[in-house]
Structure 1
Amino acid sequence: MYAGSQDDEFLRTRKISFNANGFLRADSQSMDHESGPDRPENDCSIHCPTQLNTIGEILNRKKSVARIMSNTVKALNSAYEMRTISPADLIFDLFKLPDRDEASVTKLIKVLKSFGLREKDPRMKKMMDQIRTFEETKEEDDERVLHMRRDIFKECIQSSVQLISQALRNHLIIPSWGEFCLKIRDIFEECRGINGGTVATYIPQLARCDPNLWGVSICTIDGQRVSFGDSKVNFCIQSVSKAFNYAIVASDLGAEKVHSYVGHEPSGRLFNEICLDPNGKPHNPMINAGAIIVTSLIKNGLTMADRFDFVLKEYRKLSGGEFVGFNNSVFLSERDTADRNYALSYYMKENKCFPDGIRSLREELDLYFQLCSIEASCETLAVMAATLANGGVCPLTEERCISPQPCRDVLSLMYSCGMYDLSGKFAFQVGLPAKSGVSGVLIVVVPNLMGIALYSPPLDKMGNSMRGVEFCKKLIESFNFHNYDSLLHADSKKLDPRRRVGNRETELVVSLLYAAQNGDEEAVRRMYLQGQPLDVKDYDGRTALHIAASEGHAHLVKFFLFIAKVPHNPKDRWRRTPLDDAKMFKHDECVKLLLRPHLLNHKGTLIEENEIDEIRSTTLSMQRMDTSSSDETESDSEIDQKLGFSDAYSDSPLQNGGPSTPK
C-alpha cells in the first residue's frame, strides 16, 4: 500500500458518478447548494456542483455558496473589464468573517487547493512568504488561524491576485478539477492490481528497485496539480532524458543543425541496435545511437563539469524549481555495463557521425550516462512534461525554457519514436506523445492541456512500464485525449475535462433543435449514432420532437418515435405535447404518427401505420352509435380524448390561455 498523497483527503470527501451520457455529475447526497428563485440561473455555467460543494464546506456557507460564487465571478469580471473595484477587495469580501472586518487566509488557501493550486506554487511564493511572516507574529495560543485585516490581507495577496482571480472565476484549463481527479484516482487504483512484468536487470542498481512502487503525477498548463501513490519517490529518469536533451540542444543550436547529425525516422530496430540510416546517420534522437550524438552536441566547447551543470540548470528551469538530482551509483553501474554502447559509439565514430571538436569518446559516453542517471520524481517530471505541453513555457514560473519549434519537434519525435519497439502500437492506441525509460518511468504529454508522469519499475517485453502503459490505455478509454478523438464521429461518451460546465449540454440542445427545425435527418441520425440523447429540452421544456411536429417533418417524427424511441408526449412550459403542435399546424401525417404510441395491438406492440385510420374510424362509429340514443352527442375531440388519441389535448394552451404559436 502507498502512503496517501496530500490530495487524497480532499478526494475522499467527494462523491461522484457518471450519468448515462458519460458526463460527470455529483452525487445528490453530497450536494447542498441552494435552489429556487434566489439562485442565479447561470450558476452551473460557472462552477460544477462538486466544486461548489467543496467551496461551500470551506466557507461554511453551503446554502448560499452558489449565489456567492456567482456574484463574486461577475464582480471580478467587471473589475477587470471596467476597473470599477479592486479585485483584492472582492477576494477579501468573499473570505470575510461574519461581523468582523477580517478575512481568513486559511480558507483562501483551501479554496485554491480545491482548484488544484498548491501552496508551494512559485507564482504564490511572495504571497506565502508574507503570510508566514504574519503567522510568526501571532501568539502561540492563537491556534495559528490566519485572520487578517483588509489592508494586511490585500497586501499579502496582491502579488498573486491575478492567479487567485483566475481560479475563483474558474478560468483554469480544467474547470471541474475535483471530478477529474476522482476519475484519475479510479484509473490509478485499477492499474495498481497489475502484477506482470519484470524489473530491468542489465543495470545492477536498477534491479534492486521495489517492484511494488507505483506513482502518478499530473500538472496542467495552468499549474493545477494532483499526485497519487509513490509520486515523491526519486528514481533515475534513464531514456526520458533523451527527449529533454534533444529539446535543449535544438533550442540552443537550432533543429536544422541537430538534424544534420541525426535523422527523424523510426528505426524499426531495437533501441540499442548497431545500425545507421541510409544517409549514414542515427535514425532519430530517441534511440541510443541518436541520443549519444545529441549529447555530443551539448556545449561541446566547455568542460565536462560545465556541460553537466548546464543541463542540470536547464532541467530545473523545465521543472519550475522541483527536485532534480544525480545518482552516482547508477552512473557507475551503467558505465561498467556499457559494452554495447561503446561498440555503437565506435561504429558511429568510424562512420564520422560525431561533430568535430569532441574531446574523447569516453567523455561523451560519460556525459550520456550521467544524464541518464539524473534523479527526479513523478512530481518533477509532470511539470517538465507540462512545460512541453505548454509550448516550452514552464506553467509554474511562466519562463520560456524551450523554443517553440524544438518543442513541437520533440513532441513529434516522442509520438513516433518515444516508446521503444512499442512506439507504433502506442501511437495507434493512445495517440499521445510519450517517452519511457527502463527504470519504469513514463511521461505523457497532452498538448495544450497537461503533462503526466508515471513510475512503476516492472517492464513489459518492450521495455516499457507495464502499469504505465495500461494507465495510458484506460485514460484514453475515459477521456478524449487521443490525437484523433476530435474527429466528427468521435465517441461522444468520452469526457473532455477542458469543457466548461454546461457547454456540452448547451451545444447539444442547440444543434439538435436546429436540425429538427430544418428537417436535417442526417444530422439527427449522426447524433443518435454518437450516443447523444435526443430527448433533451430547451429552457422552455421543448424537445426536438416538439419542433419536428410543429414544422411538419414527418420523417423526423418517425425517426424520433420508432428509431430513437424518445417519449412521445413530453410537455413544455405551457403543457403542450408534440401532438398538440402537430394538430394546431394541421400536419396530418405527423398527427397520425404521434397517435400510434397510444394504440397497441392485441400482441402489445405498436400497430402498423395503415391500420390507424381503419381502427380510428371504426371506433368513432361505434362510439356514435352508442350515443345516438342519448339526448347528448359528443364532439370528435371529446371522443378522441376518451379513446386516448391525445392524452394531452385537455392541457392544450388553446383551452387554458397559452400562446397561439409554439415557442
Structure 2
Amino acid sequence: MMMAEERDFVIAPSPIDDDSMNMPLLGQSPPSEAHSQHNLNAIGEILNRKTSVAQIMSKTVEGLNHAYELRDSSPEDLIFDLFKMPNKDEASISKLIKVLKSFGLRESDPRLRHMNEKMKSFEEEDDDARNFLLTRDKFKECIHPSVQLISQALRNHLIIPSWGEFCGQIKSIYEECKSIKDGNVATYIPQLARQNPDIWGLSICTIDGQRVSFGDAKVPFCVQSVSKAFNYAIVSSDLGADFVHSYVGHEPSGRLFNEICLDQNGKPHNPLINAGAIIVTSLIRNHLTMADRFDFVLNEYRKLAGGEHVGFNNATFLSERDTADRNYALSYYMKENKCFPPGTQGLREELDLYFQLCSLETTCETAAVMAATFANGGVCSLTDELCIHPRPCRDVLSLMYSCGMYDFSGKFAFQVGLPAKSGVSGVMIVVVPNLMGICLFAPPLDKMGNSTKGVAFCQKLIEYFNFHNYDSLLHADSKKHDPRRRIGNRDTELVVSLLFAAKNGDFDVVRRMYLQGTNLEMADYDGRTALHIAAAEGHTHLVKFFVNVAKVNHQPRDRWGRTPLDDARTFHHEDCIRFLLKQHVRAHKNSFPNDGPASENAIDSETLPVLLAQHQHLKRNVIAENIRLLNGHADESSGEDDLTGTTGVMLINDTEVKDKACNGVRKMPPTIKLQRVSEADDENCT
C-alpha cells in the first residue's frame, strides 16, 4: 500500500542568492538527508561506491522527486543511471534487487512479479542476462511495471525508513527471549502435545510490505484460536457487522474461554471465545455446501496473506474433533437457547467446519502478512487488494485489544497496549495499527494459555519502541524510539505547527509549544519565522508574546531581507508597527554606551529621517515617543506596549530642522534634542 510520506527540511534565514530559488519545498527533505548513514553504508557496499554513495543517492532522490514535474528524465532512466556499470551502457539488475532487499522488500513480493517475469524472459534470450546486466532499454522495460514501488523505496518513503537499524533492534529482543524456558506445550490435543518446545519463530510485515523474519519463521503450525479473529473479520465484511452482532456480543466475558455461559441477552459474549466463534462459523455462507464454505474461507485467508502459504492439517483436525466434548456441550447449550441463526446445518457439521478452520496451517511469515492486512485497514500490504472492509477491520482490532489474549487480555492491554490474538498451538499475532503486523510462534504456554516467549517479546518491544496505544500522549516517555521517524521529521512537524498557529492567531498552541521548550525562532524554507507571520496577519498579542515572553529576535530577516516590521507595514497593521518600532528603537538605544552624557545617547542624524519616511502613516506623537525613549528622556510610564498615550513632544531645534524632520529627506544635524512644542507646530508636522 503506497503511502504519502512527509519529508522534513528547515532552513535558517539567509540572504538572497542564486541557489536560494532551488531550495526544497517545506515538507520535503533535501535528498542528502533522505537516508540515514546506516542506509547509505548498506547501499554503498552493494554498489561498491563507498565514498560517493551519498552524492549519488542525493542526485537520484532529487531526480525521482521531480521526475514527473520537470520531465527532464524518466524515473526508469534515473534508476538505470544509479545502477549503471562503469564505462558500460549496462546496469546491474541484481544490485537493484539487493538494494530493495536492504529496504525490506523481497524478490518474491507480488508487486515485483512483472519485473521478475521480464528478467526471466531476458535470461532465456541472452546468456549474459544471467549476470543480470541489461542494456538501458531492457533495464527500463524490466522495471517499468514496478517503478512506483522501486522509486518509493529509493526515495526512502517506506513506512520504516531506517530498516536495517530497526531489524537490528528486533533481532536483539528476539535473542533476549530465546533463552526463556518457562511454560508447557498444550497437551489436551494429542497433535499439539508433540510439538518441539524449542521452536521460536518471529516474522514482521509492515503496511508497505517490508518484511523480516528470525528463527523458525517458516515452520508450519495450526492457527487454532487465531482463526477466530480472521473468521469474524471475513463474516463481518460479508454480512455486515450489525447483522453479526445480532447473534454475538462484543463484551469481554470475564470467564474462561470455553465456559458454558451466555451474556444477559442470551448471546455469546464476544466472537473470540469458543461460544462466539462457533456462532460466527455458523454464519459463514450457510446456504452453501460444507465443501464450498470451507473453500470460501480458505480463499479469503489466502487473499489476506497476499498469496502466501495457507494449508490444512488433517491430522490436527481429526485429533481435535476426537477431543471436542466441551465444544459439543457448549453447542447444545446454545442450541437450547436458540443462539444459532435460521438455516443452520446440523451441529456436527458446524463444529466440523469450526475445527477445520482451527486446523488451517500456516507459518509466521504468512500470518505476519495477514496481521499487516489488519494494520493496513483491511488492505493487503503485498497486493494492495481490499480484503476486509474498514468497519469490520476496526471492530476486529477492538475485540483483539479487549478479548484476544484469553484471561490475560486486560493485563496485556494494560502493559502492551496493542491488539493481539493467541492460540494454544503457541502462535500469537500482534497488530501495530498503521504500521505493521507481527507473528510469534513458540509452543510453550503460560497458565493463561498464551505463548510465554511471545508475551515476553511484546513486553520488551514496548519498552524500547513507542508502540503502546497511549505512547502518543503529550509528555509521553521521550526515551522510546519511533521507527517511523525520519531525519529531521520532528523539526518539520514543529515548524509547520508553529507557523500555522501564528497565522491563525492560536495563542494556546503557541503558549503550549513555548512551555514544551520549542524553539520559537524556527524558520521555514524562506527564512520566515512565526514572528513574521504574526506581524503580517496583525496578531499583536502573539507579536508581543514572541518578543516580550519568548524573547525571540524582533527583527529576523527572511530570504528577501524583510523583517516582521516590514510585513506589518505592508499590511497596515498599526498596532504591530507601533510595538515593533518601539523594540527597534530600544535595541538601537541599547547599542550606545550607557556611561556617556545624554547628548551622546541621542539618535544620530541618519536614523530619524529613515524612521519618519518609512512610517509616515503613523501619528507624529508615536515617532516622537520612540525618539524620546531612544534619547533617554522617557519616564517609566512611557514603556507601555500599546504606545497609545500622546506625548505632546516634538523633535526641534528650530523651524528649519523641524521641517527637515517632518519631510525626512534632508540631512539632519548631528544630534536632535527634545522640547515641548505647541499644538500649531504639531499640526504643521502632521
Fold shared per TM-score above 0.5: yes
- Over residues 237-273 of structure 1, what are the superposed CA-to-partner deviations in whole Å (9 max), with x where a residue is unaligned? 0000000000111111111111110001000000000
Q: Given the superposition, is the C-alpha separation of residues 114 and 121 from structure 1 closer, same or farther in structure 2, using an over 3 Å criterion?
A: same
Name the counterpart of 2:95.
Answer: 107
The answer to whether the aligner puts 1:167 opposite 2:153 as a matched pair is yes
Name the counterpart of 2:316.
Answer: 330
Name the counterpart of 2:565.
Answer: none
Q: Given the superposition, is the C-alpha separation of residues 586 and 283 from structure 1 closer, same or farther in structure 2, using an over 3 Å criterion?
A: farther
Stretches of structure 2 that go unaligned for 5 or more consecutive residues are 1-23, 502-506, 526-545, 553-585, 592-686
| CA displacement at 1:482 relative to structure 2 | 1.1
Name the counterpart of 2:409.
Answer: 423
Paired with 1:314 and 1:500, the residues of 2 have a C-alpha distance of 35
Aligned amino acid, residue 279 of structure 2: I
Name the counterpart of 1:342.
Answer: 328
- Secondary structure at the aligned position of 2:131 is classed as coil
Paired with 1:190 and 1:310, the residues of 2 have a C-alpha distance of 40
Contact 1:216 1:455 (C-alpha < 8 Å) held by counterparts: yes
Which one of 438, 449, 462 corresponds to residue 463 of structure 1?
Answer: 449
| CA displacement at 1:138 relative to structure 2 | 4.3
Paired with 1:506 and 1:387, the residues of 2 have a C-alpha distance of 30
| CA displacement at 1:538 relative to structure 2 | 12
Name the counterpart of 1:351.
Answer: 337
Paired with 2:550 and 2:86, the residues of 1 have a C-alpha distance of 61
TM-score by length of structure 2 reads: 0.70
Contact 2:180 2:453 (C-alpha < 8 Å) held by counterparts: yes
- Secondary structure at the aligned position of 2:59 is classed as helix
| CA displacement at 1:179 relative to structure 2 | 1.1
Name the counterpart of 1:149.
Answer: 135
Paired with 2:174 and 2:514, the residues of 1 have a C-alpha distance of 36
Which one of 464, 489, 496 corresponds to residue 503 of structure 1?
Answer: 489
Stretches of structure 1 that go unaligned for 5 or more consecutive residues are 1-39, 540-549, 557-582, 589-663
The answer to whether the aligner puts 1:218 opposite 2:190 as a matched pair is no
Contact 1:443 1:453 (C-alpha < 8 Å) held by counterparts: yes
- Secondary structure at the aligned position of 2:202 is classed as strand
Aligned amino acid, residue 216 of structure 2: D
- Equivalent pairs counted in the alignment come to 518
Q: Given the superposition, is the C-alpha separation of residues 523 and 554 from structure 1 closer, same or farther in structure 2, using an over 3 Å criterion?
A: closer
| CA displacement at 1:507 relative to structure 2 | 5.2
| CA displacement at 1:137 relative to structure 2 | 4.0
| CA displacement at 1:472 relative to structure 2 | 0.8
Paired with 2:197 and 2:396, the residues of 1 have a C-alpha distance of 30
Superposed CA RMSD: 3.4
The answer to whether the aligner puts 1:62 opposite 2:62 as a matched pair is no
Aligned amino acid, residue 389 of structure 1: A
Name the counterpart of 2:122.
Answer: 134
Paired with 2:589 and 2:238, the residues of 1 have a C-alpha distance of 74
TM-score by length of structure 1 reads: 0.72
Name the counterpart of 1:271.
Answer: 257
The answer to whether the aligner puts 1:242 opposite 2:228 as a matched pair is yes
Paired with 2:307 and 2:511, the residues of 1 have a C-alpha distance of 53
Contact 1:480 1:494 (C-alpha < 8 Å) held by counterparts: yes
Paired with 1:44 and 1:179, the residues of 2 have a C-alpha distance of 18
Name the counterpart of 1:299.
Answer: 285
The answer to whether the aligner puts 1:75 opposite 2:76 as a matched pair is no
Which one of 438, 458, 480 corresponds to residue 494 of structure 1?
Answer: 480
Q: Which has the higher contact order (CA 8 A, sep 6+)?
A: 2
Aligned amino acid, residue 173 of structure 2: I
Name the counterpart of 2:626.
Answer: none
Which one of 41, 52, 61 corresponds to residue 53 of structure 1?
Answer: 41
Paired with 1:316 and 1:138, the residues of 2 have a C-alpha distance of 36
Paired with 1:295 and 1:467, the residues of 2 have a C-alpha distance of 30
Which one of 364, 370, 376 corresponds to residue 378 of structure 1?
Answer: 364
| CA displacement at 1:83 relative to structure 2 | 3.5
- Over residues 423-467 of structure 1, what are the superposed CA-to-partner deviations in whole Å (9 max), with x where a residue is unaligned? 111111111111100101000111111111110111111101111
Q: Given the superposition, is the C-alpha separation of residues 282 and 537 from structure 1 closer, same or farther in structure 2, using an over 3 Å criterion?
A: same
Contact 1:234 1:376 (C-alpha < 8 Å) held by counterparts: yes
Contact 2:233 2:392 (C-alpha < 8 Å) held by counterparts: yes
- Over residues 459-499 of structure 1, what are the superposed CA-to-partner deviations in whole Å (9 max), with x where a residue is unaligned? 11110111111111111111111111111111111111112
The answer to whether the aligner puts 1:482 opposite 2:474 as a matched pair is no
Identical amino acids, percent of aligned pairs: 74
Which one of 334, 347, 352 corresponds to residue 361 of structure 1?
Answer: 347
Which one of 117, 131, 135 corresponds to residue 105 of structure 2?
Answer: 117
Paired with 1:329 and 1:269, the residues of 2 have a C-alpha distance of 30
1:515-526 residue pairs with structure 2 within 5 A? none
Larger Rg: 1 or 2? Answer: 2
| CA displacement at 1:514 relative to structure 2 | 13
Name the counterpart of 1:231.
Answer: 217
Name the counterpart of 1:261.
Answer: 247
Q: Given the superposition, is the C-alpha separation of residues 458 and 132 from structure 1 closer, same or farther in structure 2, using an over 3 Å criterion?
A: same
Name the counterpart of 1:452.
Answer: 438
- Secondary structure at the aligned position of 1:451 is classed as strand
- Over residues 549-599 of structure 1, what are the superposed CA-to-partner deviations in whole Å (9 max), with x where a residue is unaligned? x9686999xxxxxxxxxxxxxxxxxxxxxxxxxx989999xxxxxxxxxxx
Contact 2:227 2:357 (C-alpha < 8 Å) held by counterparts: yes
The answer to whether the aligner puts 1:414 opposite 2:404 as a matched pair is no
